[in-house]
């Protein structure tokens, strides 16, 4: 059974930083992709970033230069460093895991099978 566990959300003032982590286990393949997604109230889910086991990364335009994804393949843990947070970044953030081939510039959550429970990120203005 694949388990995906996220942590690191919280409340910060606009301009502040948070670091999310996503650890997973039970995934039988050596190659993997971890996608980061967010959903704000009343809005559709949005793909934010994606990183593969080989450190290939994609970011959505709204967070480029502010968010950085990193990866520890041995620990099967991925982090999302979020800097200069804006009120528009407020959402529930999810990470999801699947094969590396599903990490594309589209950052499409429909291709990911294994999801974490979500963590709330709130940037207050």
Give the model's pLDDT for residue 83. 98
Contact between 85 and 58 (Cβ < 8 Å): no
Give the position of tokens 């940037």. Answer: 123
User: How many whole angstroms from its chain centre is CA 112?
Assistant: 12
Give the model's pLDDT for residue 119. 97
Dihedral-angle region of residue 88 (phi above 0 means left; psi in -120 to 50 means alpha; beta otherwise): alpha
Give the position of tokens 């593969």. Answer: 52
pLDDT above 90 for 70: yes
- In tens, the pLDDT along 53-69 reads 999 999 999 999 999 99
Which of helix, strand or coil describes residue 40?
Answer: coil
Contact between 58 and 45 (Cβ < 8 Å): no
pLDDT above 90 for 125: no
Give the model's pLDDT for residue 112. 98
- Rounded mean pLDDT, 95-100: 97
Give the position of tokens 């994804």. Answer: 69
Compute the mean pLDDT over every residue in the chain, rounded to the nearest whole number.
Answer: 97
């Amino acid at each position: 059974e694949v388990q995906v566990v996220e942590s690191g959300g919280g409340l910060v003032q606009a301009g502040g930083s948070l670091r999310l982590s996503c650890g997973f286990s039970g995934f039988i393949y050596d190659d993997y992709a971890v996608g980061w997604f967010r959903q704000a109230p009343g809005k559709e889910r949005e793909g934010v970033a994606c990183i593969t086991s080989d450190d290939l990364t994609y970011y959505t335009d709204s967070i480029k230069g502010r968010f950085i994804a990193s990866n520890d393949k041995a620990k099967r843990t991925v982090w999302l460093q979020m800097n200069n947070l804006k009120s528009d970044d407020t959402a529930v953030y999810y990470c999801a895991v699947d094969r590396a081939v599903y990490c594309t510039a589209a950052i499409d959550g429909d291709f990911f099978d294994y999801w974490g429970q979500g963590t709330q990120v709130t940037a207050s203005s």
